[in-house]
């Protein structure tokens, strides 16, 4: 990335460049995030799908189980890429590497630091989403032209998760606090309609699930990939956008408070 890049967020671009240079030597770690949802797709979507047969998709249409599961796992790919970089890695840079102390000693501001970290996590999530979408295409799991919007929606999921992840990480005091991250992430992965519809839950639990960010992403991607878009998807996209912008604002203020006071 050229040092001649100008603009109010040039520091964010340089931070993203810094992370890209570091990961050139750890590309296998970067790429490994695609493997988990892919294995789930092969084992549950394809293996178990042969026993399940068809299930009710958007609008009540019957679809093969692997086509039902695949968009949900695409959302998980976007979540994985964004979550790990915006939580564990940000905590290490903040508490141990002291990277942000060095950055804030330059003209780079806390807003640029927050945006750079969110931007890098978003980029990683986007790479995972593109790779998984290509796998879906190779497995003949995409049949609707609406699926062209799947990658932008996956990027929106990454943005929401990354921004909130960075914001929450600024409140972490030790590595033990990340147990709370897993306490939220694992149930969200298992129960956000990734593998089965919300209708199987008791009503009270279903209402809670329907307000989780991953559920919004799963519904968005499933409706688009299966060719059943509706105006309802607009507010779900808005939910994720507001979540991301709020997280970014909180992350910027927290970084300023922690390192500039």
> How many angstroms separate the CA atoms of 41 and 220, rounded?
18
CB 75 within 8 A of CB 224: no
Percent of the chain with pLDDT over 90: 38
Confidence of residue 6 (pLDDT cuts 50, 70, 90): very low
Mean pLDDT of 239-252: 96
DSSP per-residue letters across 24-58: TT-HHHHHGGGHHHHHHIIIIIIIIHHHH-EEE-G
> How many angstroms separate the CA atoms of 33 and 79, rounded?
10
**To the nearest 10°, the Cα dihedral for 210, 216, 219, 221?**
-160
Confidence of residue 255 (pLDDT cuts 50, 70, 90): very high
Residue entry with tokens 């294995």: 39
- For the stretch 97-128, pLDDT in tens is 999 988 888 888 899 999 999 999 988 888 88
- The helix or strand, by DSSP H or E, that contains position 63, with its residue range, turns out to be strand 62-64
The 10 Å Cβ neighbour count of residue 96 is 8
Torsion region of 247: left, alpha or beta (phi above 0 gives left; psi -120 to 50 gives alpha):
alpha
Predicted confidence at residue 29, as pLDDT, reads 67
> How many angstroms separate the CA atoms of 141 and 109, rounded?
44
> How many angstroms separate the CA atoms of 157 and 237, rounded?
9
> How many angstroms separate the CA atoms of 13 and 15, rounded?
5
> How many angstroms separate the CA atoms of 62 and 58, rounded?
9
Predicted confidence at residue 31, as pLDDT, reads 66
Mean pLDDT of the chain: 86
**Higher per-residue pLDDT: 1 or 211:** 211
Residue entry with tokens 């109010």: 8
Predicted confidence at residue 104, as pLDDT, reads 87
Mean pLDDT of 170-177: 92
């Amino acid at each position: 990335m050229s040092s001649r890049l100008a603009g109010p967020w040039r520091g964010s671009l340089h931070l993203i460049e810094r992370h890209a240079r570091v990961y050139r030597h750890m590309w296998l770690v970067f790429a490994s995030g695609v493997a988990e949802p892919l294995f789930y797709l092969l084992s549950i979507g394809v293996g178990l799908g042969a026993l399940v047969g068809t299930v009710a998709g958007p609008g009540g249409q019957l679809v093969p189980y692997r086509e039902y599961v695949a968009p949900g796992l695409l959302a998980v790919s976007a979540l994985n890429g964004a979550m790990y970089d915006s939580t564990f890695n940000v905590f290490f840079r903040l508490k141990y590497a002291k990277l942000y102390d060095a950055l804030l000693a330059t003209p780079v501001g806390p807003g640029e630091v927050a945006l750079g970290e969110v931007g890098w996590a978003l980029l990683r999530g986007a790479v995972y989403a593109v790779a998984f979408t290509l796998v879906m295409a190779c497995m003949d799991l995409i049949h609707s032209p609406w699926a062209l919007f799947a990658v932008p929606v996956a990027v929106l999921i990454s943005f929401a998760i990354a921004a909130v992840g960075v914001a929450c990480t600024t409140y972490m005091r030790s590595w033990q606090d990340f147990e709370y991250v897993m306490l939220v992430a694992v149930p969200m992965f298992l129960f956000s309609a990734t593998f089965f519809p919300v209708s199987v839950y008791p009503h009270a639990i279903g209402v809670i699930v329907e307000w989780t960010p991953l559920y919004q992403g799963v519904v968005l991607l499933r409706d688009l990939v299966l060719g059943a878009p509706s105006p309802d998807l607009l507010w779900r996209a808005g939910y994720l956008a507001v979540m991301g912008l709020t997280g970014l604002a909180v992350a910027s203020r927290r970084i300023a408070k922690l390192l500039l006071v």
